[in-house]
Amino acid sequence: MSSEQTHVIVGAGMAGAKAAETLRAEGFDGRIVLIGAEQERPYDRPPLSKGYLLGDQDRNSVFLHPLEWYGDNHVELLTGRRVARLDRAAHEVELAGGERIGYTKALLATGSSPRRLKIDGSNLDGVHYLRRFSQSDALREAFATGGRVVVVGAGWIGLETAAAARKAGCEVTVVEPMATPLHGALGPEMGTFFGDVHRRQGVDLRLGVGVTGFTGAGKVSAVATDAGEIPADIVVVGIGARPNVELAEDAGLTVDNGGVLVDAALRTEDPDVFAAGDIASVPNSRYGRRIRVEHWQNAVDSGPSAAKAMLGQDVTYDQLPYFFTDQYDLGMEFAGWFPPGGYDRVVTRGDVDGQAFYAFWLAGDEVVAGMHVNLWDDGIGPVQELIRSRKAVDADRLADPGTPIA
C-alpha cells in the first residue's frame, strides 16, 4: 500500500463489506481495516430467513466474498472483534481488550440487533431470535425435528420464519398484537392479504393478542398470552430490530429518529466519521424528512456511497427505499415509504386472490409506495419510476391492467 491513510470500517455486514469493496474499486491504496463482531466473514442476511433457512441455499452461497478476496485486496478483516470505543479526538478505535487502531476516516456500519422480549421465561431453551448465521442454523435444526412452533410477531421475520417452519412440516401459530400482520409496514389492507396467504398454508393466526410469558421446565413448553396459553416446542421471537447506535452515542455523535444523523453524503457532524446501513438517519428529498431504513438494499447502496464520500467524491445519497420477501410460492418487491397513517388509500390492479397483482399506496393523488406480487416480467421498476415522478394519477386508470403504469 502506497498511501499512509487508514480507513476503518466498524461492522462487517453488507454495508461494511460493500464499502471496503468500493474503496478498492475507486482506487484507494491505503490501509483498510474491516472489523466485525461475528466470527463469520461478511455474509448476506436475507437468506437467513429465506433460502438458507428453507434449505434451498448452501452455506457458501451466503458469503459475500471468498475468503481469499480479503487478502488479495489487502483488506484486513478482523472477525470476532468488538469495537468498544470510538475516540474521535485521537482518531482511533479501541477494540475490546484494549488494542487501538488509528484511522484517517471511519465508517460506522454496526447494523441492528433483534428487539428482545423482557418477560418471564425469556431465557428458556427453545426460544429463538434470528439475526445471525448461527441463529439461522439453530432454527434449521429445530424445524427439522418438527413439533409445535409459535412465532411471536407477524412482521417480515415472523412471517418468513413461519413459512419456513410450515415447509418443514411443523405446526405453526403466529401471535401478533396488531389487528393484521405487517400492520406497520403495509397497513391493514395488504396486511390482511398476507394474513390470508398464511391461513391458506395452515398457519393459525392469533391477531390482537399479546404475549405475557413463556413457561417450561428448562425448555419452553408453552407461550402465555392475554387470551390463553399456546403449547410450544419451539418459539421464534420476531418483534423488530434495534439499531446498534451505542458506539456513536458514546462518541458524542448525534442520534435522533432512532439512528445516527448524517448528511446527504452519509457524513456525521464529525467530517471524518460516516455512517451507513441500518443506523444511518438520512435526509430524503422525496419524502421531505429523515428516513432510517433497515432493509438489505439500503445496506447494498449506502455502503458504497459512504466509501465514495470518504474518498472526497461528491455524493448525494437519496435512494428510494426498497425491500422484498419470499413466502411459500409468493415473491414480492416493495418500493417507497410512508409513515403511520401516511396514505389515504390502497389501489390494486391484477388478480389479488390469485397472488399476481400490483398495489399502490396513495397520498392524495400521488403514489408514495407500491409493490408487486409475482409479476416478474415488469417487476418493481415501473413502480419506482412512478413514485420518483411525483405525477398526479387517476386511481381508476391506475387500477386498470390495460393502462401501462408509466
How do residues 212-234 score in pLDDT, each as one tens digit? 999 999 999 999 999 999 999 99
| Confidence band for 403, pLDDT divided at 50, 70 and 90 | very high
Strand (E) or helix (H) holding 365: none
| Confidence band for 406, pLDDT divided at 50, 70 and 90 | confident
Q: Which residues, 6 or more positions from 157, have their beta carbon under 8 angstroms from its beta carbon?
A: 49, 130, 236, 238
Distance between CA atoms of residues 281 and 293, nearest Å: 8
Please report the pLDDT score of residue 1 as a whole number. Answer: 45
Q: What is the DSSP string of 180-207?
A: STTHHHHHHHHHHHHHHHHHHTT-EEEE
Contacts 24+ apart (CB under 8 A), 20-23: 20/73, 20/75, 20/307, 21/65, 21/73, 21/304, 22/303, 22/304, 22/307, 22/308, 23/307, 23/310, 23/311
Please report the pLDDT score of residue 238 as a whole number. Answer: 97
Answer whether residue 241 shows pLDDT above 90. Answer: yes
Residue 314, number of CB atoms within 10 A of its CB: 7
How do residues 332-352 score in pLDDT, each as one tens digit? 999 999 998 899 999 999 999
Answer whether residue 78 shows pLDDT above 70. Answer: yes
Q: Which domains does the chain have, with CATH numbers?
A: 2-113+242-311 (3.50.50.60), 116-239 (3.50.50.60), 329-399 (3.30.390.30)
Chain centroid to CA 281? 14
Inter-residue contact 126 to 235 (CB < 8 Å): yes
Inter-residue contact 199 to 205 (CB < 8 Å): yes
Answer whether residue 7 shows pLDDT above 50. Answer: yes
How do residues 360-398 score in pLDDT, each as one tens digit? 999 999 999 999 999 999 999 999 999 999 999 999 999
Please report the pLDDT score of residue 163 as a whole number. Answer: 97
Chain centroid to CA 313? 27
Answer whether residue 3 shows pLDDT above 80. Answer: no
